[in-house]
Amino acid sequence: MPVVVPALSVPAAGAAFERTTIERRDLRGHDVRIEIAYAGICHSDIHQARAEWGAGLFPMVPGHEIAGVVSEVGPEVTRFAVGDRVGVGCFVDSCRECENCLAGEEQFCSRGMVATYNGKFYDGERTFGGYSTQIVVDEAYTLRIPDGLELDVAAPLLCAGITTYSPLRHYGVGPGSRVAIVGMGGLGHMAVQIAHAMGAEVTVLSQSLSKEADGRRLGADHYFATSDPATFRELRRSFDLVLSTVSADLDLDAYLGLLRLDGSFVFVGLPEQPQTFGVFALVGARRSLAGSNIGGIAETQEMLDFCAEHGIGSVIETIKADEVGDAYDRVVASDVRYRFVIDTTTI
């Protein structure tokens, strides 16, 4: 029999959260049942709960930054045991046989990965996310949270951490790299810490200098305000990589001008509208304009281990279930330092 558990759901696009119950399936052979302790609030949750990326599946239970403890395992589970500290990120299944899945890049599964919420399993069953007290996930899509990382500060690593770690790795960031992080929010504050731990010289490009002290404490070597036009003159041709974590429209020509020869501008933030740029900015210094989407399962485990080894966690504000609506408004107003995490025992 499926288990009925409490959850926070959005009944329709943009509606207020309400308490409800959802069903979690019976354990299959390779499933683990996880008692969720914390769920981070990603800006993508807000985009989807407000149907800003097109029609969503409602009622919706968001949440893809999940940390908790295994409470039961299916008969064929080999990698986890009751009591293990685990995490779940942005997807809970993929086809497992396309070239991208086989390469450990399940986030780019050719059949389409199964999103942790606002999605459907291949058999048509709806997925519901981490704003809940329990979830059932195949062990192949479950991550181990290393000792030394508390569950609350680990939860946001399952999206914000891997989304920034993956492109930093892919573009070969290390000692000697000059990296700029655009936006000091949930993703941005992780990117600063991870790039710093990889040995890069890190610059934050924020709308203002209001979070400069935090940015420097987290590992930024330099901090500039994008509202000051002098910033773009001063930093011209400075960076190997510019990683944008903002969802607002950007003056791409200005940002491309910040790249050195062979530099790359990489989107992880997702502006709703098409963005434009002049091709001359690319051609003039063999620059690249690119995007990146979360990371694969093996790479997510690598990121968690890296964060534990370097003492990196998310900077969080823990909230109760009835504060989620207000927290959404504060994230949209850039009034979060730097990730809201829901104590799911309050749901």
| Binder of Zn ion out of 22, 109, 135, 289 (CB under 5 A) | 109
246 touches, from ligand NAP, Zn ion, none (C-beta below 5 to 8 Å by class): ligand NAP
Build a one-symbol-per-residue string for 257-296: x at contacts with ligand NAP by CB under 6 A, - elsewhere. Answer: -----------xxx----------------------xx--
Task: Return the one option of ligand NAP, Zn ion, none that residue 334 interacts with (CB less than 5 to 8 A, by type).
Answer: ligand NAP
Residues in the interface with ligand NAP (CB under 6 A) total 27
Cα–Cα distance between 64 and 177 in angstroms, integer? 31
Among positions 212-251, residues that touch ligand NAP (CB under 6 A) are: 245-248
Which lies closer to Zn ion via its Cβ, residue 206 or residue 247?
Answer: 247
Helix (H, G, I), strand (E, B), or coil: what is residue 99? helix
Q: Tokens 């999605």 label which residue?
A: 119
Which is nearest to 64 in space by CA: 127, 118, 117, 4?
117
SS (HEC) of 101-157: HHCCCHHHCCCCCEECCCCECCCCCECCCCCECEEEEEHHHCEECCCCCCHHHHHHH
Binding mask 289-328 for ligand NAP (x = CB under 6 A): ----xx----------------------------------
124-183: contacts with Zn ion (CB under 5 A): 159
Structure tokens given for 45: 């949750």
Stretches 41-49, 129-137, 279-287, 299-307: which one binds ligand NAP (CB under 6 A)?
Answer: 41-49
Q: Is 42 in the site for Zn ion (CB under 5 A)?
A: yes
Q: E-strand spans in the chain?
A: 3-9, 18-24, 31-40, 66-73, 85-88, 91-93, 114-115, 134-138, 143-144, 178-182, 201-206, 222-225, 239-244, 259-267, 288-291, 316-319, 339-343
CA–CA separation, 39 and 343 (whole Å): 7
Name which of 66 and 184 has its Cβ closer to ligand NAP: 184
Residues 193 to 212 in contact with ligand NAP, rule: CB under 6 A: 206-207, 211
Strands 201-206 and 143-144: unpaired
Q: Which residues bind ligand NAP (CB under 6 A)?
A: 42-44, 47, 159, 163, 183-188, 206-207, 211, 245-248, 268-270, 293-294, 331, 334, 336
